[in-house]
């Protein structure tokens, strides 16, 4: 009997330590991360990078979803949740959203279905690729001019010797 109690205590302690390590890594990560319930998509946990990127406070986000906060097109949100439900993961998915102040940004997101306390959740990682998308559009625009190249080296303007 005492061996059973000791084993259970050791297992509980290991689980607690594992959760603590996970939460420390989650919150310290410079990449925006969130945990949300499935299939509802309500946030149960977000890190500081998520809050900074989307311009929200923790209190404004926890218990809510992206549709409620007007961040994402409902059709796009439904597509992401459907893919996550069907495949268990979504990798490198580009999505346009709006921050709290209405600023449009483009995210590259990956989500993985996980189980916490017996309930399915999504662990999501998001990277703001807005600047990259703007740069790609500018290069494409510049390349559309006849006789031009998008990027010219400084050597291209020097006369040949």
CB atoms within 10 A of CB 110: 14
Q: E strands along the chain, which residues? A: 32-37, 43-46, 89-98, 104-116, 119-128
pTM, 2 dp: 0.77
Residue 154 confidence (pLDDT): 45
**Residue with the two structure tokens 């949740």:** 81
115/83 Cα distance (integer angstroms): 17
What's the token pair of residue 101? 């102040």
**Residue with the two structure tokens 């459907």:** 82
DSSP state of 30: S
| 148 against 118, higher pLDDT | 118
pLDDT tens by residue, 85-130: 899 999 999 999 999 999 999 999 999 999 988 999 999 999 999 9
12/18 Cα distance (integer angstroms): 10
Residue 2 confidence (pLDDT): 60
**Residue with the two structure tokens 């996980």:** 114
Domains in the chain: ranges and CATH: 29-143 (3.30.450.20)
| 6 against 147, higher pLDDT | 6
Residue 8 confidence (pLDDT): 82
What's the token pair of residue 57? 């406070």
- Give backbone dihedrals phi and psi of 56, rounded to 5 degrees, phi first: -115, 165
pLDDT tens by residue, 126-136: 999 998 888 88
pLDDT band at residue 139, thresholds of 50, 70 and 90? Answer: confident
């Amino acid at each position: 009997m005492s061996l059973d109690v000791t084993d259970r205590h050791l297992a509980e302690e290991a689980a607690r330590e594992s959760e603590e390590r996970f939460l420390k890594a989650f919150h310290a990560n410079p990449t925006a991360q969130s945990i949300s319930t499935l299939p509802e998509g309500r946030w149960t946990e977000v890190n500081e990078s998520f809050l900074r990127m989307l311009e929200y406070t923790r209190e404004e986000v926890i218990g809510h979803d992206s549709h409620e906060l007007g961040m994402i097109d409902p059709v796009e949100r439904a597509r992401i949740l459907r893919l996550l439900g069907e495949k268990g993961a979504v990798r490198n998915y580009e999505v346009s959203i709006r921050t709290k102040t209405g600023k449009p940004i483009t995210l590259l997101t990956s989500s993985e279905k996980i189980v916490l306390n017996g309930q399915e959740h999504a662990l999501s990682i998001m990277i703001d690729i807005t600047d990259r998308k703007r740069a790609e559009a500018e290069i494409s625009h510049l390349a559309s001019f006849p006789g031009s190249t998008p990027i010219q080296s400084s050597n291209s303007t020097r006369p040949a010797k």
